[in-house]
Amino acid sequence: MGVTNSNKVVNTTQILCDGTVRVTLALTATPDIMSNPTDIVLVLDRSGSMAGVPLANMKAGADTFIDIIADATGGSGGQIGSGSRIGIVSFADTATADTGLITSVDTLKAAVDALTAGGSTNHADAFATAAGLLDPPSGNARVIVMFTDGNTTAGGPPAPVAAAARAQGIIIYCIGLVGSDGVDVSALNEWASDPDAAHVAVTPDAADLEQLFADLAANISNPGATDIVIDETVQADFAITSILTPSKGSAALLDARSLRWTIPELGVTASESAILEFLVQHTGQISGDKLVNQSITYSDAEGNVVTFPAPTVSVDCGTVVYPEPCPTPVELSVSGCSGSVEVDLGDVSLDAPGQILQVDVTLQQVCPGQRVALAAILSEVDSAGVEHDRGMKVFTIPAHDAPSCRDVLVRCIRFVLPADPEGTGQPPCAQRDLRMRFIANSLDNGFLCCADTATP
């Protein structure tokens, strides 16, 4: 089933202009066997060549296989879960169905542990008995896991029986142990489903059998996702300030606005979730409802297609007033096919020589519905500490309609400084020392004069 859930949330939907929001990314992956129940028949070689250590190690491997499938299906109370089942078939001169398709882990392990070695190797009867256990189909996926340590020494040719099973939609895995009479790897490849590399495993050492069974069980249960890479980039007016340690994998900043979260595997043996939290600060100057992320991409080795929600946050940068208009632009049009363009836009007069000073100021705690008179007074200080007037501007700041008192940012108050700082005793292009003063008062204070006639 792969990735079953992906989510992205923020811990708040409202922040101030320089506020911080915590972003949480979450993934859940589930092994395929959780959503696609599977009937599995373990077909175990108990011929004479298996006597001693090989048989003991095969039993340990089969027990491990059963445990992994039980975990991968979310089983509890000693049962295989999610509708999956396992059956045991063993073979030597002939094959025997030691159990039916059942869910009891203890019963399956008891059947495996009761096996004894002796006799020849009849692969054809083993395949036929296993296929019979899977017939009629239950609607579950069907798998045969054949384990053997030798060549066929009894019965008919196994290849046609294995081919008939595959034709019925049964997936066949083969595990080979190079025993005393050898093992024919080409035969295993012929019996198993394609591709061989995913369905055939061979070991020359009985001690490695338990790991082979474990690897095969993990392969059958199919991890939900492996080699996960998530790249997140936040909007241009946000910055990532810190990344918390994720519950799975690792995460790192790529730059001030981007991070990468990598997870080697998720949902290998059971449904599993991973969480990453990181902090994002608003760095812009404009209020509004804003998407936090600019983009987020996901990839994994299984090709899961994953999308994440796009949460928004309301950013409050306060009330901003521009008391002076910008210069009026001159409109012109240019043909897109022109290699070069010459346009005469007329005369532009130099309003005043010198430098332009532009300042911002914040009026604190202006209550709703109240206009404010604002005076900006500029002076320049000469080398002797004497102040010289450079201008004063007075503005009426319009009332705001926010629900409570708030700061109001007044932007772009412009003064033109004379090119010749007359009276300051400073040469042109020298550092200029300035002083700004602001006077502000409410214009709408609700004041009423007393009545001309007193009320008795």
pLDDT at 331 (0 to 100): 78
For residue 297, what pLDDT band results from cuts at 50, 70 and 90?
A: very high
Which of 2.60.40.680, 3.90.1150.10, 2.30.40.10, 3.30.1330.80 is the CATH number of 2-30+226-317?
2.60.40.680
- Enumerate the β-bridge partners of residue 144: 41, 172
CATH code, residues 33-221: 3.40.50.410
Please report, rounded to a whole number, the percentage of residues in the chain having pLDDT higher than 90.
55
For residue 123, what pLDDT band results from cuts at 50, 70 and 90?
A: very high
- In 237-308, DSSP assigns E strands to 238-243, 250-255, 258-266, 272-282, 288-291, 293-299
- Tokens representing residue 35 in the block: 């959503």
Is the previous residue joined to 136 through a cis bond, with omega within 30 degrees of 0? Answer: yes
pLDDT at 450 (0 to 100): 60
pLDDT at 286 (0 to 100): 83
For residue 298, what pLDDT band results from cuts at 50, 70 and 90?
A: very high
Max avg pLDDT among 210-214, 256-260, 353-357? 256-260
For residue 89, what pLDDT band results from cuts at 50, 70 and 90?
A: very high
The secondary element (H helix, E strand) that includes residue 147 is: strand 141-148
Contact between 385 and 375 under an 8 Å Cβ cutoff? The reply is no
Q: What is the DSSP letter of 353?
A: S
Q: Which residues contact 112 (CB under 8 A, 6 or more apart)?
A: 42, 44, 59, 62, 63, 66, 88, 98
Residue of 49, 147, 142 whose CA lies nearest to 89: 147
For the cut 60, the answer to whether the pLDDT of residue 423 exceeds it is: no
For residue 11, what pLDDT band results from cuts at 50, 70 and 90?
A: very high
For residue 290, what pLDDT band results from cuts at 50, 70 and 90?
A: very high
For the cut 80, the answer to whether the pLDDT of residue 449 exceeds it is: no
For the cut 90, the answer to whether the pLDDT of residue 382 exceeds it is: no
Q: What is the pLDDT of residues 28-58, one digit of tens each?
A: 988 878 778 999 999 999 999 999 999 999 9
| Top-confidence residue, 282 or 342 | 282
Q: What is the pLDDT of residues 425-438, one digit of tens each?
A: 566 667 888 999 99
